[in-house]
A and B are shown apart, each in its own frame.
Chain A
Amino acid sequence: MRNEAEDLAPIPHSAFRTPHSPPFGYHGQYLRIDVTTGDVRAVPLPEDVLRQYVGGVGLAARLLHRECPPGVDPLAPDNPLAFVFSPLVGTPLTTSAKFAVAAKSPLTGRFNDALSSSHFALSGKKTGSDALVIVGRAAAPSILLIDDGAVRLEPAGHLWGRTTPDATAGLRDRHGPDWSFAVIGPAGERLVRFATISHDNRHAGRGGLGAVLGSKNLKAVGVRGTRRTPVADPAGVVAAARDLSARSFGPAAAKYRELGTVANLLTFNRLNALPTRNFQAGQFEGAEAVSGEALSDAARVARRSCAACTIGCEHIYRVGDRGEGLGDRTEPPATNGLYPNPSPLSPTVRLEYESLFALGPLCGISDRGVILRAARLCDDLGMDTISAGATAAFAMECSERGLLEDTGPPPEETPPPNPLPYEGRGDQTGRPGASPPPPPGGGGRGEGSLPHFGDGDALLSLLGMIGRREGPGDLLADGTRRAAAAIGGGAADFAPHVKGLELPGYEPRALQAMALGFAVGTRGADHNRSGAYEVDFSPDADRRHGDAESARRAVETEDRAALIDSLILCKFLRGVFPDLWAESADLLAKVTGWDVTADELRATARRVIDAKKRFNIREGWTPAEDTLPRRFLGERLPDGSAPGAVLPEDRLRAMIRAYNRARGWTEDGWVGSEETPPPTPSPTRGPVGEPGA
């Protein structure tokens, strides 16, 4: 089974038949591909392991314990990158065409998982495995192709350096429409620590998994297959799928269908919870101009959905021609800024609330056209919009505080001498009380040479430089935690991250259960693995005064997310389940034939979260990293039309202790040793879950 990396011979079909009979919904194995040596092997996944971790994020946690050597450098060849499917993939259940991607994060150094959707999940599972685990580093920029029983590498050729849509189009031209590709953009190639992996215009966005793929010298992973997995109760699955689809057309998912998540912006603004100008305020005076409602009126051109989805939350907007209500900018459409072949940005973009807040209010931008261009630029370059926007906002605040003048040498590299050389044009927001001007003198660069909040040109310029790791973009491409350490001067106090992952669009002082969720998140500040904002928005909680009860309920939201992410279903479906646990057990039973119960799934969710935490402990986690930047613990949120809020550190610590107790961990957050998925010294020893494996 060992082959040359340049042309990996087809694996005989018999190699895919595992000694055990896989359960319904599964292939019962994962494929481990070493792109350095060409070694490809099918590793059995015993049924008890599959039942304990289900799939998606859960199974990914199990696989990383096994495959990831302790202490590995996230950008080293040995760091495994896992694409993980689930038993529901390929069924007619709405929103089930999803996959998880996981690796040790180059941004956080901790467990990182991200979800994406659509045909890559369907085709990937049909290659005959429940997961694809990639290790090693190809000798030259390459495309990894997994075609039913055959695995091979081919040169990336001219696709290296291309944007995500360009590369995808080139691969489709080269291979045909029955292939699905997960690709990186120039940011992933340049190891930007928040680079994404993109597919069908969706992105496994957080934590820099695109850099991990880039570190393996892989521009893309292509999948094609014919191997379906039978389900235990076909008629039952079809009936459940019909019922679920019917419910997805109802009011619980209407928000996503009709306006999309961008509708959050005005809501959060009203609640003084909209992160503004790098979390210096919770309300943005330009909110109406960049609201989802305004965007819909001015620029929405289509609504789409992932494969196998009946909700269709993807709202597509036209990117920035002039005279179309997209602001008052007068220059031609932006380009991707790549050298030597700059080309116009893709003409449309899918926009979510997270991209809107991060590239808009967080940077003080009230020009819709700029935000849409910035979102498109991030997607084309292959960068997480949250981290990219937050990093730009952080740079803007550093600039306005004069800190960029004082940049000292970072621990291991020298920062560029002119941190932010761009042709700024000043504040375009027209807001009253705009940010203070840069310090007099400006280090000889003049006032116009430093970025300010509200400067759209600065934002677009910074994003391009980050994606290319050019000039100051090289430092910023490492994320706010590393940049703050290099800049010094107190920048770490307002670098908006937890464990290195930049905060999403929830002001922690105004949403204090969510603040807890951010602080304890295993992948860092995270709104997808903790839905603690649901606690903040409930009648029996005080969102501006978190307590032990908020913490207990935050645990529940994490458990639900762990279940949904392991099944995998879309979280936008969650509102249609009156009882998520019981209905999930019923769905899983119909697919797998297991006599699974709601209680078993609760235990599964806990097991998944424990496994992620144990991975982090193995990689050096200490209780000190479960916290928030000093800004949130020391500064009162300014009043807007809603009262400001404060989150004292002792209150956060009390919530963290309550959270840890509710999880059954020590008060400091250490996890007991029972049921620990053991780290595996040798990844090729035997089936996952074998004693000693």
Chain B
Amino acid sequence: MIRAGAPVLLDVRELEASIGDKPILKGVSLEVRAGEVHAIMGPNGSGKSTLAKLLSGHPAYSVTRGSVAYRGSDLLGLSPEARAQAGLFLGFQYPVEIPGVSNAQFLRLAYNSVQAARGAEELDPLEFDDLVREKLALVDMDPSFLERNVNEGFSGGEKKRNEILQMALLEPVLALLDETDSGLDIDALRVVAGGVNSLAGADNAIVLVTHYQRLLNYIEPDYVHVMEGGQIIKTGDKALALELEARGYDWVRAEFDAARAAA
């Protein structure tokens, strides 16, 4: 929901970043205010995941220009764990398998780390079990997933639900969900959307990276951005998503190039 005067949670300005010597982000600007839902769409390889991972602090990327402020202060100087503790959440496009560590252990460690940073109460395994079961119900996951190693042998859709479970536990201020809808069946899509919607509120914001309009039937975006070649080349409202679905990306690129040539 767009509200005039809502606090700016994320302010990305002219961001350029590379991996090794290869430039990937070539001047990205994005402002996200409390209460808003943003969707980022765009062709494969355009830099969507790069942006999401960079914002979360992945060490592989180096910022060569530009700035990022989170709730008014510099984000890029913070360690990835400090960003998470400050309320940033990344739902991974490809969730990582952690051998030998049970989901329950992992979730509790994550929960307690974030709670401790917020000065909130940490939970012992029994208390945490109650909480996590409540959240499991929210994403319609079987409790047996708690005993399994983190993401190990999970199906694609199960991994994505597990991401939403983590989001539900950590209650982030700003959630970056990278293709959380990819590989989901219709029911799972509804469940995931339900999870996201129950998080959405006046004080937090969600940035969804997606290829499909269908997720946006469940989660209504305030803004739709098109990313291409490491830049956001167009921003519109939810109607843009429908148009992209119908017409593809080429026309956006053409428009962008024409505008640049004219300038």
Do the two chains belong together in a single complex? no
